[in-house]
Amino acid sequence: MRFKIPGKNRHIRLFERVQVAANEGDYDIFDGGIEHADGSRDTMVLFGGSFATAKGWIKAADDKAEKSAEAPVANTPATEAA
């Protein structure tokens, strides 16, 4: 997420994904800080990890949502009247 500082040629960066050449998809790395008009960055926070538990929760939620979207809607008095 990036947002501009009013009246300045700078942006605040929060939770921006960092591309790392050696990263084979094992880790996700994010930063936060200030991005200047020339594209240079002052990183104040840098964190990362595999986030395996969070990715598992998200995948389970996505699978559940997909499954419920595919499930047929039961005939109820409200749907029969329509």
pLDDT score at 24: 65
Domain ranges of the chain: 2-71
Instruction: For residue 56, give both structure tokens.
Output: 């598992």
Query: What are the respective helix, strand and coil percentages of the chain, to the nearest 5?
Result: 30, 35, 35
Distance CA 53, CA 50 (A): 8
Mean pLDDT of the chain: 81
Residue 62 banded pLDDT, cuts 50, 70, 90: very high
Residue 63 parent element (H or E)? helix 52-70
What count of other Cβ atoms lies within 10 Å of the Cβ of residue 31? 18
Predicted TM-score (pTM) of the model is 0.48
- Per-residue pLDDT tens over the stretch 15-55: 888 777 766 667 788 888 889 989 898 988 777 888 888 88
